[in-house]
């Protein structure tokens, strides 16, 4: 039994050590906001935070998570889902199908934590998640809006 701290709750999970964190989160813990899109670290749909850093959970085996590491998924990002990034997303109607959006949001939050006022070029370089519906321009606008809010508020 491995022990994981997910969204501030300690969970015992019964999975083979080479099981990707993505599937542990989705199938053992039952948090399905973290999505499967490719399984090979290409699309970012599975992005979660491990100790605050954006991580593509499909490519991290359970065994790689160290005791005490804090995992945050989209469900645990902010109480009431009112993180400035989520607010900006709502305001700009960013999602289309929405399937990539948990990953987009988690990647964007991690970027802003590191770089509170990113330039367009920084955003374009850092947000490499795939969105097949094509929400990129609204994602970019959403990050900038959240950054502004973060600064003033």
Partner 1 sequence: MRVDRRTARHTLDQPTDRGLRPSRRAWLTGAGLFSLGFHIPFLAPARAAPAAAEPEVNAWVVVKPDDTVVIRIARSEMGQGTLTGLAQLVAEELDCDWARVTTEYPSPGRNLARKRVWGDYSTGGSRGIRESHEYVRKGGAAARAMLVAAAAKGWGVPAETCRTERGVITHVPSGRTTTYGAVAAVAATIEPPKDVVLKDPKDWILAGKPLKRLDTRPKLDGSQVYGIDLTLPGLLNAAIRDCPVTGGSVTSFDAAAVSGMPGVKRVLQIGDSAVVVVADTFWRAKTALDALPVVWDEGPNATVSSATIAETLRAGLDAQEAFIGNTSGDVAGALKGAAKVVEAVYGVPFQNHATMEPMNATAIWTAERCEVWAPTQNGEAALAATAEAAGLPATACEVHKIHLGGGFGRRGATHDWLRQAVLIAKEMPGTPVKLIWTREEDMTHGRYHPVTQCRMRAALDKDGQLTGLHMRISGQSILASVAPQRMVEGRDPVTFQGLNPGGPEAAIGYTIPNILIDHAMRNPHILPGFWRGVNLNPNALYLECFMDELAHAAGQDPLAFRLKLMGHHPKHRAVLQAVADKIGWDQKPPEGVSRGLCQTMGFGSYVAGAAEVSVSESGALKIHRIVAATDPGHAVNPQQIEAQVEGSFVYGLSAALYGACTVKDGRIEQTNFDSYPVMRMEAMPAVETILIPSGGFWGGVGEPTIAVAAPAVLNAVFAATGKRVRHLPLKDTDLRRA
Residues near partner 1, by CB under 8 A: 15-16, 19-20, 23, 26-28, 30-40, 42-43, 45, 73-75, 77, 81, 86, 89-90, 93-102, 105, 123-125, 127-140
DSSP element (H, E) containing 40: none
Point out which residues pair with 11 in neighbouring strands. Answer: 4
Rounded to 10 degrees, what is the CA torsion of 101, 35, 6, 59? -120
| Distance from chain centroid for Cα 112 | 12
Residue 56 interacts with, from partner 1, ligand FES, none (CB under 5-8 Å by kind): ligand FES
Give the interface with ligand FES as residue ranges (CB under 6 A). Answer: 36-39, 41-46, 56, 58, 95-101, 131-133, 135
Count of positions (residues) in the chain: 153
Residue 131 CB, nearest distance to ligand FES (Å)? Answer: 3
Residue 10 CB, nearest distance to partner 1 (Å)? Answer: 18
Residue 150 CB, nearest distance to partner 1 (Å)? Answer: 17
Helix (H, G, I), strand (E, B) or coil at 2: strand
């Amino acid at each position: 039994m491995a022990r994981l701290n997910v969204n501030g709750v300690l969970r015992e999970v019964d999975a083979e050590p080479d099981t990707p964190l993505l599937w542990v989160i989705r199938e053992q813990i039952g948090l399905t906001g973290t999505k499967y899109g490719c399984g090979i670290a290409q699309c970012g749909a599975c992005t979660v935070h491990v100790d605050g850093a954006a991580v593509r959970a499909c490519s991290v085996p359970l065994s790689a998570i160290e005791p005490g590491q804090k995992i945050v998924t989209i469900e645990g990002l902010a109480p009431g889902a009112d993180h400035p990034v989520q607010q900006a997303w709502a305001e700009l109607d960013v999602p289309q199908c929405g399937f990539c959006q948990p990953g987009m949001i988690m990647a964007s939050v991690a970027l802003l934590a590191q770089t509170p006022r990113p330039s367009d070029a920084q955003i374009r370089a850092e947000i490499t998640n795939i969105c097949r519906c094509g929400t990129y321009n609204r994602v970019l606008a959403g990050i900038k809006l959240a950054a502004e809010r973060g600064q003033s508020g």
